[in-house]
Structure 1
Amino acid sequence: MYIDASLFMGMHAAVPGTRQACASFFAEHLRDRVWMTYEEVGRCDDVVWALPRDTQDAYYPFMDVLHSTMPVKRVPYTEDAWKTAADLPGRGVLSLRERLLMATVIASDSRLVTVNPRLLNLADQGLPVAAPENSDGRHGAFPEPLAGLYRTSLALEIDHARI
């Protein structure tokens, strides 16, 4: 399964429901292999590097340990993804980055987990995209010491619309 910057940075969203759903996703899938395009990884960095240094210092230990613990496979766009992007619905609604991400997911015969509302709207068109599951009211939690690092990293709180 693929993840995007909205899901990853959603762990630090100002909206508590989004933050909890995203953090729960990562806690529950901590040992599962997930894929993320280089562009989505870079989008996360772009958001964090624009913040004050003390906020970055509070955030990066969590991110570092999470990326070392969770098997996140970083991948480039492929020629198949570029070809698939031309046929995707959503022209004029999705950014080129979002279209290429969705094309990468489709070309890989995978699915995307996201909290990006523009991408989630594609599920109505039968495309492989879904929100993180969190409907039963139970929330996954990170194991220690990752849980402590996550609590400290919450010094970073972002307006999720920026992602």
Structure 2
Amino acid sequence: MPADPRTETYIDASLFMGMHAAEPDVRQACAAFFTRHLHDRVWMTYEEVGRCDDVVWGLPRETQDAYYPFMDVLHSTMPIKRTPYTEDVWKAAADLPETAGLSLREKLLLASAITAGARLVTVNPRLLRLAGNGLAVGAPDRAAAGSFPQPLAGLYRTSLVLEVDHARV
């Protein structure tokens, strides 16, 4: 994603769960985003946080037990600000141009970023097709990045038993 003058960044469940994508290039790009932005404030709607939980809770208990320590430490380390939908977000969602094919959840996420004057970083293919239409939507930079610091790096390696289809998150 090219440099954007906006200082706030929204992320979604596809980016977060993309660190566990079955597709290696997506997994690397998503993990690189989080290693590069580990100490940067990012925003995530309650709905997107819940979507991540919904994906994980549908998996076998052993997979959950391997995944959740990483997620817990990452959420404790990285300043992820969780936010509800506001009346302004609902109004902005209703006024979005040309969003055919997006779910209500995706429209509300996009409206949340727009209302905040933020950019949205995602690997959701439905949202990425809106990039370049005057909306600050883009994919994470696919450049290689460092790894997580310990103990997060070890927890991440263990959590990789979880694999998801990022396009379905």
Please confirm whether the aligned pair reaches a TM-score higher than 0.5, indicating the same fold. Answer: yes
Cα distance in 2, alignment partners of residues 90 and 13 from structure 1: 28
Cα distance in 1, alignment partners of residues 106 and 49 from structure 2: 13
TM-score normalised by the chain length of structure 1: 0.96
Q: Choose from 55, 72, 77 the match for 2:85.
A: 77
TM-score normalised by the chain length of structure 2: 0.92
* Alpha-carbon contact 2:123-2:167 (below 8 Å) kept: no
1:7 and 2:15 aligned:
yes
Cα distance in 1, alignment partners of residues 148 and 99 from structure 2: 38
Per the TM alignment, residue 124 of structure 1 is displaced from its structure 2 partner at its CA by 2.3
Cα distance in 2, alignment partners of residues 35 and 160 from structure 1: 19
Which residue number corresponds to residue 74 of structure 2?
Answer: 66
Higher fraction of helix: 1
Q: Choose from 128, 147, 155 the match for 1:149.
A: 155
Q: Deviations over 1:124-157 (max 9, x none)?
A: 211011110124xx32311111000000000101
Q: Structure 1: which amino acid aligns with 2:166?
A: H
Aligned sequence identity (%): 75
Q: Deviations over 1:67-115 (max 9, x none)?
A: 0000000000011111111111244310000000000100111110000
Q: Structure 1: which amino acid aligns with 2:164?
A: I
Cα distance in 2, alignment partners of residues 32 and 113 from structure 1: 14
Structure 2, unaligned stretches of length 5 or more?
A: 1-8
Q: Which runs of 4+ in 1 moved over 6 A?
A: none
Alignment of 1:14-163 (within 5 A): 14-135=22-143, 138-163=144-169
The count of corresponding residues between Structure 1 and Structure 2 is 161
3-state SS, counterpart of residue 112 of structure 1: strand
Structure 1, unaligned stretches of length 5 or more?
A: none
Per the TM alignment, residue 159 of structure 1 is displaced from its structure 2 partner at its CA by 1.7
